[in-house]
Each structure stands twice: as C-alpha cells, then as structure tokens.
Amino acid sequence: MSQPTRILAVDDSRATLEVIKRNLVPEGYEVYTCERVSEALPLLEDYAIDLVITDYRMPQSTGMDLIRHVRANYPDTEIMMITGYPSIPGAVEAIKDGAGEYLAKPFTTEELLSAVQRIVERLMRRRVLSSGDTPPDNFGIIGSSQEMEHVFQRIGKASSTDANVLISGDSGTGKELVARAVHYNSARRASSFVPVNCTAIPDSLVESELFGHVKGAFTGAKDGRAGFFEIASGGSIFLDEIGDASPNMQAKLLRVIQSKEFSKVGSSRVHKVDTRILAATHKDLRRMVDEGTFREDLFYRINVVDIKVPPLAERGDDILVLVNHFLTKFAKAMHREAPQLTDDALAVLRGYSWPGNVRELENLIQRLVVIVDHDLIDVTDLPDAMRFCLPRAGGSNRSLAEVESEHIQRVLTSVGGNKTRAAEILGINRKTLREKLRRIDGVEGE
C-alpha cells in the first residue's frame, strides 16, 4: 500500500483510545479517534478508512450499529470489535455482522498489534487480488514484487543487445517465459524463436537435430531436413536445461557458437550462423564447471548476460496476483464464474513453500476450478500436504531439525495421532515416521 493504513478507533473510554493510538502510531499506522458513533460517521465519509476498531457498548448507538453501517456502506473496510464485556453470543453476533476480529479488554500490546496485523494482511491480500493483472510494460509476465522487478530490468538490458543470455532458476519458475520476453522485445522479434529441450535429444542424433542433414546422409534419411540452428536463423534458439546436455552436445554447441558456422550431416557445405543463444538451467553450472561435468569455455560463451528467476515462495504477493490470473483463465475456459478463495485459503497459498513454483500453482488452480463445485474455495478444498504446511512466526533462525519436528507434530495433531495418515501426508513411510519420532521424543513410539 502506497499510503499508511488508516485506522478509526471508536470507544467511549478516552483511556482505551489513548492506548490504541499510543501503540499503533509508532508502528506506522494513521490513527483517528472519537468517543461516539455519531462522530465516526463523518470521518468515514471524509477519509478512506481501512480499519474500524469499535467498542461493543457505547451510549446512544452501539458498536454493533456501527458495524452494520460500515458493512452496508463501506464493504472494503475491515472491522475489529473490542469490549470489556466479553461473551460468546456477543462475539458470534459481531463476527456474523462483519467484524474480522474480536478482542476482549483488557488486552495486551502484543494482542492488539497481532490482531491489527492479521486484519491488515487480509486487507492487502484482497487488494492484491482486485488489482488486476500485470501492467503491459512487464513483458507480459505477471508479477510486481521487488524480485521480479530485478528480472524485468535484466530482460530490458538483454533485449537491447545481441549478447547470449543464461537464465537460471528452479524448475517451474518460468524460464522460457523470460527467454521469450527477451526475444520478442529484441531486434530479432520478427524472426523465429526456436525452443530446444537439451534432455530430449538422443546423443546419436545431436548433430542432425542441431544442424540438419541432407538426403541419404544416413540410413533412413529419405529426405533432407533443416536443423534447429538453421530454423532459428536471424532469430533466437532457446536451449532449455542446457545443464543436462551431454558432453557431445556441449562440444557441438561450443563449436557453432565460436565459429558461427555449421555443416549439415552428410554435406561439406558451410552455413553461416546468425542465431542468438538463450540458454536456461535449473542446475548450478558454476559448480558443474568446477566438478568437470560442464565445459568451462561453453559456460562463459553462454553466460554473457545472466538472469536469475526467483522461486515463487520468494515473490511475496505475486502469488495472489497469479492465483487471480489462473482462476480467471481456467474459469473462462470452463464457461463458469471464477470461484473466490476465503482469507484462510489465501493465507495458506501465500505461506506455502511451492516446491513446484508457478507450474505447481497453475496446476493447483486448474484442479480446483475443475473439481470444486461451490463458489467459495476454503482451506478444506486444498491438498492435505499444503494445508499442513503453514509457516510459523518467528523467522528463519531455526535449525532444520526444529522446523521438521514442529511440522511433524502439527500433522500428527491434525489427524488425531494417526501415524499411517500422517505418514501419507508427509510423503514418507510409516517406518521413517517412527524413526523421526524416536529422534524427536528420545523414545521409540508405535
């Protein structure tokens, strides 16, 4: 949000208002206060209030009256109810009528800040979802996080040159999208973009696939054919997963990049190469060079401009924008209204680790649109492994053993101690689970 979150606190207790203001203002919130509901109404009209914090019992109009007024007239404003007379019926009524949080007096500073933070996070998620897709200057790639802004800058620089580009990133992060963005925003955009999967070419066919062959060059060559480099002449060739290229392929690629010429299999005629190299990998090529499994000379030839694509889990609210994009895309394909996700479901998606990155998210949303019949997708509609992967507050300064232990205990609790079911959710067998529990508890469990 470009401006501070605006909070309106309404309570007939000046002491409570002072506590709220004293605690929230230092956190960067813009706080307005008043002691009557009647005083709150003009403030709601004059300012774009993000959150209303209201007392339950007040003279004349009550907090419930204010909640109903806000819900009827300011549907995008969040609400938190506070009261010195806590009761379950009161809480139920407040939540039913639209309060996002219910806080009993006296509350601690931590309780207040935590409640406000939860509400602001929900508010921001909703605003991200309603903000639409990516602006056109982002090369058609959805995302506006700081990490992706860096990618867009690199795409812009790469597009303005004819240098070879190495795109690195985990599987499913969208490396080919980046390669296409570089090509179609470069001076070569009118010529071909030719994708080549380096893992799919048998070693015996490398030369024929890359450079083509003439009729009769080998048994079965009934006709001549153009290779990938000839097809990409004047344009760009995208060498996907170049880290999986065999030593033979690496040698052939290095030769054509160095000499800028090739000959078809079965022919002595030399063809000049006018093709830009865009390569991508999910592997650490520098480490492979050190290990001797990737040619150092080829590495430096393709790594003139490097673009690192971040994993989805590091892209912040881009996850929510992508959720909205895929919901609309697949709902349109199925000729149905796009379903919505509850705040809890969005929180799970926002906090999930996404090992499969954007590809995993796209597949999940497609599956939800196909399978879920109702219009509101909740946490229970999400895969088990995802539902039990909620992050723990407290940052990353914990050991792997601590994180694993907490996750195992959470999953066990969620299934009532059923170890067979817990092992299924965790993706391990029952024996492995017993061994992990023995290490955690110091005793063998069954």
Residues 115, 161: one domain? no
Q: Is the dihedral of CA 131, 136, 140, 141 positive or negative?
A: negative
Residues 104, 225: one domain? no
53 bridge partner residues: 9, 80
Virtual torsion, Cα 61, 67, 68, 74, nearest 10 deg: 120
pLDDT tens, residue order, the chain (446 aa)? 457 889 999 998 899 999 999 999 998 899 999 998 889 999 999 888 999 998 877 877 778 888 888 888 888 888 888 876 655 455 455 555 556 677 777 888 888 988 888 888 878 777 766 665 444 457 889 888 899 999 999 999 999 999 999 999 999 999 999 999 999 999 999 999 999 999 989 988 898 899 987 776 676 667 768 889 999 999 999 999 999 999 999 999 999 999 999 988 887 888 899 999 999 999 999 999 999 999 999 999 999 999 999 999 999 889 998 998 899 899 988 888 889 898 888 888 988 888 899 999 999 999 999 999 888 998 889 987 787 654 544 444 455 666 677 677 767 765 667 787 777 777 788 888 888 887 776 543 34
Residues 369, 297: one domain? no
Residue ending a domain, among 262, 293, 308, is 308
DSSP letters of 389-440? -PPPSS-S-S-HHHHHHHHHHHHHHHTTT-HHHHHHHHTS-HHHHHHHHHHH
Q: Is the dihedral of CA 314, 318, 324, 326 positive or negative?
A: negative
Residues 183, 122: one domain? no
Residue ending a domain, among 308, 326, 359, is 308
Query: Are residues 239 and 245 in contact, defined by beta-carbon separation less than 8 angstroms?
Result: yes
Evaluate whether residue 392 is within a structural domain.
Answer: no
Residues 167, 282: one domain? yes
| Integer-rounded Cα radius of gyration of the chain | 29
Evaluate whether residue 446 is within a structural domain.
Answer: no
Residue ending a domain, among 308, 338, 357, is 308
Helix (H) and strand (E) counts for the chain? 19, 16
Residues 147, 188: one domain? yes
- Number of structural domains the chain divides into: 4
Give the domain CATH number at 406: 1.10.10.60
Q: What are 91's two structure tokens? A: 């809480």
Q: What are 17's two structure tokens? A: 């208002």
Give the domain CATH number at 349: 1.10.8.60
Residues 43, 124: one domain? yes
Residues 24, 104: one domain? yes
Give the domain CATH number at 186: 3.40.50.300
pLDDT at 221: 67
Residues 273, 356: one domain? no
Give the domain CATH number at 80: 3.40.50.2300
Evaluate whether residue 395 is within a structural domain.
Answer: no
Evaluate whether residue 125 is within a structural domain.
Answer: yes
Residues 410, 326: one domain? no
Residues 299, 317: one domain? no
Evaluate whether residue 83 is within a structural domain.
Answer: yes
Evaluate whether residue 283 is within a structural domain.
Answer: yes
- 422-426: long-range contacts at Cβ-Cβ below 8 A with a sequence spacing of 24 or more? 424/384, 425/384, 425/385, 425/388, 426/385
Domain of residue 299 covers 143-308
Phi-psi region of 216 (alpha: psi -120 to 50; beta: other; left: phi over 0): left
Indicate the residue type of 45: E
Cα 151 to Cα 174, 288, 373: the distances in Å are: 11, 24, 37
Evaluate whether residue 288 is within a structural domain.
Answer: yes
Residues 124, 247: one domain? no
